[in-house]
Amino acid sequence: MSGSWHDSYLGKLRKLIGTQKIIVNSVRAILLDGEGRALFIKRRGDNKWGMPAGAMELDESVFDAMKREVKEETGLDVIEATLIAIYSSPNTQTFTDRWGNEHHIIEYLFRVDQWTGTVEKETDESVNAEFYPMDRLPEASSELFARHHERVCKDYKKFDGTLILE
pLDDT band per the 50, 70, 90 thresholds, residue 63: very high
CATH for 77: 3.90.79.10
In a domain, 6, yes or no: no
Which range marks the domain in which residue 36 is found?
Answer: 21-165
Q: Which tens digits make up the pLDDT trace of 30-41?
A: 999 999 999 999
Residue 10 within a domain:
no
Whether 132 is covered by a domain: the verdict is: yes
Q: DSSP string covering 5-64, please?
A: GGGSHHHHHHHHHTTS-EEEEEEEEE-B-TTSPEEEEEETTT--EE-SEEE--TT--HHH
- Looking at the 3D structure of the chain, how many domains does it have? 1
Query: Is the pLDDT assigned to residue 142 strictly greater than 80?
Result: no
| Segment 53-62, tens digit of pLDDT | 999 999 999 9
Q: Is residue 42 domain-resident?
A: yes
